[in-house]
Structure formats: structure tokens, C-alpha cells
Amino acid sequence: MTTIHDLAAWKREGRRFAMLTAYDFPTAQILDRAGIPVILVGDSVANNVLGYDTTLPVTMEEMLHHARAVSRGAKEALLVGDMPFMSYQAGRDEAIRNAGRFLKEAGMHAVKLEGPHLDLAEAIVAAGIPVMGHLGLTPQSVHAMGGYRVQAREDEAAQRLLAEAQALEKSGIFSLVLEGIPSDVARRVTETVTVPTIGIGAGPSCDGQVLVFHDLVGLREGRYPKFVKTYADLRGEVTRAVRAFADEVEAGTFPDEPHSYS
């Protein structure tokens, strides 16, 4: 089973690794058996599964529901639960309590925290809960950022992000997601901090890479971000299968004798 100590060792060895999101039992089982070492139950379940426009509306109870399903399906991967919006911003005690619920009630091994919340990250780590940081484009701050925009393009913003990454490392995080930032900035952060960095829209220099599962397999409708590479067209394939079923039912060719009981 993958642990946070394995990720640290891989960073030292220069071994790259993949992380993917999962929100349900069958997907978690597929990813786990395919050897994906880190699975994130992302708050992106909000817009990929639950039909919300952003990640902001998803609740702790919804996150725990999906995290439980994932933990039942994955037995070897390191499982990370994403702290949803307003599950930690209200203060230290609530942040620790909600982080603990991911481990105690949903079988997660760690939590992910968006933004440079140094005191909260330190407090959660001190409570015995591993924390994955997240800097750059943080979707929970979409309104404050004025939309989904690439971050840290100016030198001052890049220096600030690097300082935040170093401060988060000192707070005790075991890894750091870097989202939507220029490749050279991600490279500088990766070379500076000793914890593994995991990129999404952050170029090739990070220690690991993460994508949303629904983007990876082409399940989502509409335009994909530039950094997404689709490895399959499951939406098209599922549509073809559904139409074939409906056509056979209408034609009276399904069910046929092999699919009927005598």
C-alpha cells in the first residue's frame, strides 16, 4: 500500500508518479487495480458528478459520501480527501474536526487543503492527519481570482507563491499540488521544496501529475482546459452503446433468445 513516506522516497529518487480523482466505488477499483498510487476524492465531484457549476456548493456530507465509496473500492492507493469550501476556513477546531472525519468516517489516509493556510495546515498535521497542500489556481477562490486564470505569471506573484510553498512545507505538509501556473514557476518550486509537487496545468517539472478522471477518459461535455489530455472518448462510446440498446428495443431484436430464460 502506498504511504506518504513512499512519496517522499520517490521525490528523493527522482521517480515520477500519477494521481487521479475518483468519486465512486467502480472507478476507485479500476484505478487501484491499474496501479495508480494516489487517488484524490476531489471536491471536483461537485461539477463532474453532482451537476454544480463550481466546486463551491459541495458539502462535507457529500464529500464523505463519495469518499466512503472510494475507500471501499481502493485497497492499495494512498487516498486523499479534499476539504470542501468552508469546511476549514471558519477556524482551527472546525478544520481539525472535519479533517478527522475524512479519516475516521470515510477511510481516507490524508486530506487536501487549498491555499496558504499555514496555521490550519500545521494544526491538522499536529493532530496526526497528513495534509496535502494546494497552491496556484485554487478553484475554491474562483471569485476572488476573477475566474479560472493562470496564476503567478508576474515575478512578484511567482515569488509570493514560492514563499508560500516553503512556508507550507515548514507547516508539515507531505506534498503540494501546483495548479494553473507557468512551467518555469512550477520548476522553481519543485527544485526548492523537499516535499513532492503534483502538477495540474503546471508543466512537466513537477514530481507527479494529476488529472480529473472524467477529463482523462473524455466523459465531460464541452471544452477542456489546455492542460488536459484525453486518453479515451467514453462519452462517445457510452452514447453509441445507449443508442444501440434503444434501437434494438424499438426494433424488437432485444431481448433475443440467448438473453431470455426458457
Report which residue type is found at 113: L
Residue 226 neighbours by CB distance under 10 Å: 9
Q: How far apart are alpha carbons 117 and 45 in whole angstroms?
A: 23
Residue 219 neighbours by CB distance under 10 Å: 19
Residue 260 neighbours by CB distance under 10 Å: 8
Q: How far apart are alpha carbons 164 and 189 in whole angstroms?
A: 10
Nearest-CA neighbor of 196 among 165, 227, 160, 158?
Answer: 165
| Catalytic residue IDs | 179
Q: Are 197 and 207 in contact (CB under 8 A)?
A: yes
Alpha-helical (H) ranges within the chain are 4-13, 25-33, 45-48, 60-73, 92-106, 118-126, 155-171, 183-192, 213-216, 234-251
